[in-house]
Structures are given as structure tokens and as C-alpha cells.
Amino acid sequence: MIEEPKPPEYRVGIGTDIHRIVEGRKLMLGGVHIPFPAGLLGHSDGDVVLHAVVDALLGAAGLGDIGTLFPDTDMQWKDADSKVFLYTVKEQLERKQWEVVNVDLTIHTEVPKLGPMKGQIRRCIAGLLGMDFAAVNVKAKTNEGLGEIGAGEAMAATAVALLRRKPRRTL
């Protein structure tokens, strides 16, 4: 008997993060070093963009959250390169047969202007996830001077990711 092919399974996930802007740290956004006189406070490198993407992927796959997987009480992750978090999660997704269809994200910050950097961030995230450049979109917007982000005291990021799981072949 020949079984009807099953449709692929799709899951969507959302991730958000916020970090305080402080002097004396390198600014890392989406795995890219951004020239800026301050950086983001955090146990790891404080890459607010990669943290939001990691949470979107974990959320879509039903695998929990970044704080559970890489706790900020674990010295192993002190000043860690957040690209390691994204790569580790990508491997977990692959083990469960998930592939990433697309990632869309918004960086919320008053300064610096990220226009010229958005392409670099897209390329970096697409490279880490083994995806087409076109399947990763990066947007940046100010907070219109409102709240901590508007005052230039913090940066935030919001990300969504769509996953597809190929059905197992049945003979």
C-alpha cells in the first residue's frame, strides 16, 4: 500500500531581548562588531540581536529559551561570543529535522544609525544558519525618543523565525 505523502510541519517562534548600553564594552549586533563608543552589558557579549534570534528559533521548535540553555550563572558563558549560542541551537534544530525557512528581525535603538550595517548583519546570520541572504531580513528603528531606548540607555531586538520539518519518508 502506498501512503499519501504527509505535508511538511511548520512552526513559528518569537524572540525579544533588551540590554543596557554601557561604556567599555564592544558593541556586537547580529554577530557584527559595530563601531560605537559604547557596548551592551551582559554576561555574554550582550549581542541583543542574536539573543532574540536564538529565542525565536527555540520558541518555534518548542525547545525552551536562551536563559535555560545558556544560563547567566554559568561561567562557561562569561563574555561568550553569542554566535556560539546560535550555532549550538542550529545543531539542535538539525538533530530534530527542523530547517529554518526565514528569519525577520527589528533592532530598536536610537543610536547609532545602522543603515550600512544591516547588510552585514543579514550576511552574518544567514551564514551561521546556512540560509540564503534573502531569507534573513534586518530592520532598524528608533523609539522616537521614548523610554530607555529613546534615551539611548538600552537597545532591544525582536525576531520571528519560521521552521519547516520534512516528514519522514515512508515506504
| Interaction residues for Mg ion, span 76-135 (CB under 5 A) | none
Cβ(141)–Cβ(88) below 8 Å: no
* Order of strands, sheet of 9-23, starting from the edge strand that comes earlier in the sequence: 38-40, 9-23, 154-165, 98-108, 136-141
Cβ at position 158, least distance to Mg ion in Å: 13
Give the interface segment with Mg ion, choosing from 48-56, 99-107, 125-133, 157-165 (CB under 5 A): 48-56
Taking the least distance from each CB to Mg ion, the nearer of 43 and 165 is 43
For helices 82-95 and 118-129, angle between their N-to-C axes, nearest 10 degrees: 40
Torsional sign, CA 60, 61, 62, 65: negative
Taking the least distance from each CB to Mg ion, the nearer of 51 and 122 is 51
Give the interface segment with Mg ion, choosing from 43-51, 57-65, 101-109, 143-151 (CB under 5 A): 43-51
Residue nearest to Mg ion (CB): 51
What DSSP assignment string belongs to 51-100? HHHHHHHHHHHT---HHHHS-TT-GGGTT--HHHHHHHHHHHHHHTTEEE
Is residue 17 a contact point for Mg ion (CB under 5 A)?
yes
| Interaction residues for Mg ion, span 50-69 (CB under 5 A) | 51
Give the interface segment with Mg ion, choosing from 5-13, 20-28, 44-52, 86-94 (CB under 5 A): 44-52
Cβ at position 19, least distance to Mg ion in Å: 6
SS (H, E, C) 62-73: CCCCHHHHCCCC
The residues of the shown chain that bind Mg ion, judged by CB under 5 A, are: 17, 51
